[in-house]
Amino acid sequence: MTMQAARCPTDDLSLTNCVVANERDLKSGQHVMIRTTPTHKYVFTVKTHQSVVSGTIAFSLPQRKWAGLALNQDVQVATYTFDTSRQYVGTMTLEVDFLQKKNADSNPYDTDKMSIEFIQFFNSQAFCVGQQFVFSFCEKLFLLVIKDVEAMDPSILRGEQSSKKIDIGLLHGNSQVIFEKAESSTINLIGKSKTRGARQSIINPDWNFERMGIGGLDKEFSDIFRRAFASRVFPPDLVEQMGGKHVKGILLFGPPGCGKTLMARQIGKMLNAREPKVVNGPEILNKYVGESEANIRKLFADAEDEQKRLGVNSGLHIIIFDEIDAICKQRGSMAGSTGVHDTVVNQLLSKIDGVEQLNNILVIGMTNRPDLIDEALLRPGRLEVKMEIGLPDESGRVQILNIHTARMRQSNMLGTDVDIKELAVETKNYSGAELEGLVRAAQSTAMNRHIKASTKVEVDTEKAQELQVSRSDFWASLNNDIKPAFGTNQEDYSSYILNGIVKWSNAVTDILENGELLVQQTKNSERTPLVTVLLEGPPHCGKTALAAKIAEDSEFPFIKICSPDKMIGFSEIAKCQAIKKIFDDAYKSQLSCVLVDDIERLLDFVPIGPRFSNSVLQALLVLLKKTPPRGRKLLILGTTSRKDVMQEMGMLDSFSTTIHIPNISRGEHLVEALELLGGFQEDERTQIAQQVKGKGVWLGIKKLQMLIEMSLQVRERVRKRVRESERE
């Protein structure tokens, strides 16, 4: 339609940057394109006012200056529809100056606060490059000129740089507004929004995992972005149209030292949000009645206040709870307590997702014990994104080691013989903290070489200038200093195979080959993530040694022995908890082997009575059948000398297969064992062979080793007496 240009009816309307029309001609909130000539067109947002005469459209003075309009000039007016996939403002750069030079002052103006008020005031309005308008801030009037507009692009989620320039854009709550001082202006701008900080929406695209000191968590970060931040990048009205809601909480759990706290802290740096509030769980608790709940309310006070003022345009507030299990235990689980923990949980639940919902918060909780946390806190709408921060894989370990050796590499203090990939292969089941400790230990070993051993401790300064951390330093630290908490401790099982495996017959070779087949099944089969094997046989036949050998040859990153000698004096409950912890630790590794040694001793079984621990029996029955988590594989090797007892207790059926370990029962096998063990001369072995030829023997290999050692001691005593008698 053709309309006449008119003067804006009120000063307040001139500050809105909207054209004003009669409600019979146009509707408030719609966007129109104004054509002054066939080649000159401008887009504005409409407001209505009853004082505007129908058929006219009112412009403020800055708008008329920009568009070159005269009063009563005829203009062509048409409705304009934005392409929401291409024309939402991601970043808008504005040139700012005082509207009137006589009102200029030297006071600092915070561009961050200016940006918040700008987005709140001009939300859902159309803006064009080159446009001039007036903005009221801190009771001062400023003249703004739009210098540059970039479109919002979701590729920022993937950390990609994007700058799609557009001439016309629609401002929304997640737009980034940057203020720049106009040339020859005396205005004093402060804050982050005064420069082009390479930021767009709430995601800061300038983040880099390795520069932030994070390694091995790429997948976890991408999953958190997909779940927690994708909805916050898009304009609020688009999210509303989908009926979507923002994720308000994330729970990070996993073994100690894997980077939970580090990840939570760095999330704040990656987001264009308020500085995160980091709180240790126990700090919330207070001995005075009601103070613990008040501490929770204080954490959310800033977010509540901003949401009341700015609504959907409020910035994101991040609250990080370290050791959240300290304050959010299951309600009613602490018998005889004052109920403080319960009321703290209630207060936190109501703040995150209560009657008055906050939409501008993100709560990040961290714990090693997710099983202790109240279930109500883990439902969707609260801490709904549950992310396990597990032990890093090989590529993750390469990243972590590169991060911690970067400074040495830059300073040329890392030996050329150090192979990071080789170290990553050898550090299976090491957490991020343990890898950092390994680097520190290697540095200490290298520095120790340059300390003079004299009457006083002093550094050899000449050689210290050439200090380099070599491969041997890392290997010394790997073997002696740093052991993984969830890895394989070779000392545990090496004592069981101290004298090696004596292959006194083909039966022993067959047992080891069967064990190798079961190891390969555990590694390669997708259908059987859990393989359980029972090695049974008479006492002293070498069951534990063979099981330890199978475990060692498997080269699984996690090998643990569940042995009764480590549980002497434990109550039944303590024993169950110790066994469960071994299995829980095994589930954290991709490939694990658990050796449950001497099961009847674990069960406290004695034939007189008979007596056994039913609690431990039930715990073992459950754990032997429990399938590991997805992506994890577990081999369980059990040993027992009482197969009949296992049968009566119903445990035999819990094992996938049973392997019988025999005693030495034939003379030729005994001779073969004596030859392999050594200690006897050939003529002595011949004499023994003649004695046992055609006779049956019944002797365990462990017992045989003991008898050989005893006989050698007797022989040494006889020789000593002979030498003494000869001297006489």
pLDDT digits (tens, 9 = 90+) for 158-209: 545 556 788 899 888 778 888 888 888 888 888 766 654 433 445 554 555 5
Is 163 in a helix, a strand, or coil? Answer: coil
Fill in the amino acid letter for 655: F
Give the dihedral sign, CA 500/506/511/514.
Answer: positive
Tell me what pLDDT residue 368 has: 84
Percent of the chain with pLDDT over 70: 87
Identify whether the C-beta of residue 155 lies closer than 8 Å to the C-beta of residue 199. no
Tell me what pLDDT residue 431 has: 84
Q: Name the residue with tokens 């972005």.
A: 225
Among residues 45, 488, 532, 544, which one is catalytic? Answer: 544
Between 223 and 540, the more confident residue is: 540
Mean pLDDT of all residues in 524-536: 92
State how far the Cα of 301 lies from the Cα of 283, in Å rounded to an integer: 18
State how far the Cα of 248 lies from the Cα of 668, in Å rounded to an integer: 74
Structure tokens belonging to residue 167: 């001439």
Q: Does the pLDDT at position 622 exceed 60?
A: yes
Among residues 153, 473, 585, 597, which one is catalytic? Answer: 597
Q: Which of 98-112, 302-316, 553-567 has the lowest mean pLDDT?
A: 302-316
Tell me what pLDDT residue 246 has: 82
Among residues 192, 269, 625, 626, which one is catalytic? Answer: 625
DSSP character for 275?
A: P
Instruction: Dump pLDDT digits (tens) for 644-655.
Output: 999 999 899 999
- The verdict on whether 25 is a catalytic residue reads no
Q: Which of 39-48, 201-210, 238-247, 248-257 has the lowest mean pLDDT?
A: 201-210
Phi and psi torsions of 438, nearest 5°: -60, -45
Among residues 47, 543, 549, 575, which one is catalytic? Answer: 543
State how far the Cα of 241 lies from the Cα of 623, in Å rounded to an integer: 48
Among residues 111, 473, 598, 639, which one is catalytic? Answer: 598
Mean pLDDT of all residues in 457-486: 77
Between 331 and 129, the more confident residue is: 129
**600 band by pLDDT with thresholds 50, 70 and 90:** very high
Between 303 and 193, the more confident residue is: 303
- The verdict on whether 625 is a catalytic residue reads yes
- The verdict on whether 543 is a catalytic residue reads yes
Give the dihedral sign, CA 493/494/499/504.
Answer: positive
Average pLDDT, the chain: 83
Tell me what pLDDT residue 211 has: 59
Give the CA distances from residue 135 to residues 93, 95, 121, 190, 417, in Å, rounded to whole numbers and listed in that order: 14, 12, 9, 17, 63
Instruction: Dump pLDDT digits (tens) for 626-681.
Output: 999 888 899 999 999 999 999 999 899 999 999 999 998 888 888 888 888 876 77
Domains belonging to the chain, first-starting first, are: 2-79 (2.40.40.20), 89-190 (3.10.330.10), 209-388 (3.40.50.300), 394-481 (1.10.8.60), 490-662 (3.40.50.300), 666-726 (1.10.8.60)
Q: Does the pLDDT at position 475 exceed 80?
A: yes
Structure tokens belonging to residue 576: 């169950």
Between 243 and 335, the more confident residue is: 243
- Taking alpha carbons only, the member of 485, 554, 472, 572 closest to residue 517 is 554
Q: Does the pLDDT at position 625 exceed 90?
A: yes
- Taking alpha carbons only, the member of 126, 120, 153, 373 closest to residue 253 is 373
Q: Which of 126-130, 198-202, 228-232 has the lowest mean pLDDT?
A: 198-202
Half-sphere exposure of 458 (CA within 13 A, CB side): 6
Q: Does the pLDDT at position 520 exceed 50?
A: yes
Q: What number of residues does the chain have?
A: 728
User: What is the Cα 124 distance to its own chain's centre?
Assistant: 37
Q: Does the pLDDT at position 420 exceed 60?
A: yes
- The verdict on whether 544 is a catalytic residue reads yes
Tell me what pLDDT residue 235 has: 64
Q: Does the pLDDT at position 573 exceed 90?
A: yes
Structure tokens belonging to residue 135: 């903005």
Q: DSSP readout, 574-594?
A: HHHHHHHHHHHHHHTSSEEEE
**38 cis-preceded (ω within 30 degrees of 0):** no
- The verdict on whether 597 is a catalytic residue reads yes
Mean pLDDT of all residues in 475-497: 73
Q: Does the pLDDT at position 281 exceed 90?
A: no
Phi and psi torsions of 245, nearest 5°: -130, 150
Mean pLDDT of all residues in 56-66: 90
State how far the Cα of 514 lies from the Cα of 544, in Å rounded to an integer: 15
Fill in the amino acid letter for 556: F
Q: Does the pLDDT at position 512 exceed 90?
A: yes
Count CB-CB contacts under 10 A for residue 161. 11
